[in-house]
Amino acid sequence: MPRIRPPFPVTHGYRGRPTVVNNVETFAAATKIAAHGPEWFSAQGTRESTGTKLLSISGDCARPGIYEYPWGVTLRRVLEDCGATDALAVQVAGPAGQCLPEGAFERRLAFEDIATGGSLMVFSAGRDILELVNNFTEFFAHESCGFCTPCRVGTALMRDLVKKVCAGRGTRYDLEQLQRIAQVTRATAHCGLGHTAPNPILDTLKSFPEHYATRLRPEDYTPAFDLDGALEAARRLTGRDDAQAHLREET
Q: Does residue 118 share a domain with residue 2?
A: no
The pLDDT tens digits for 57-77 are 999 999 999 999 999 999 999
Q: Does residue 148 share a domain with residue 108?
A: no
Of 81, 96, 127, which residue constitutes the final position of a domain?
127
- What is the number of structural domains in the chain? 3
The pLDDT tens digits for 199-220 are 999 999 999 999 999 999 876 6
- Domain contains 17: yes
Of 68, 93, 127, which residue constitutes the final position of a domain?
127
pLDDT at 231: 83
pTM for this predicted structure: 0.79
Structural domain span for residue 13: 1-33
- Domain contains 44: no
Q: Does residue 208 share a domain with residue 148?
A: yes
- Domain contains 112: yes
User: Which residues lie below 8 Å from residue 36, measured CB to CB, with a gap of 6+?
Assistant: none
- Domain contains 42: no
Q: Does residue 193 share a domain with residue 159?
A: yes
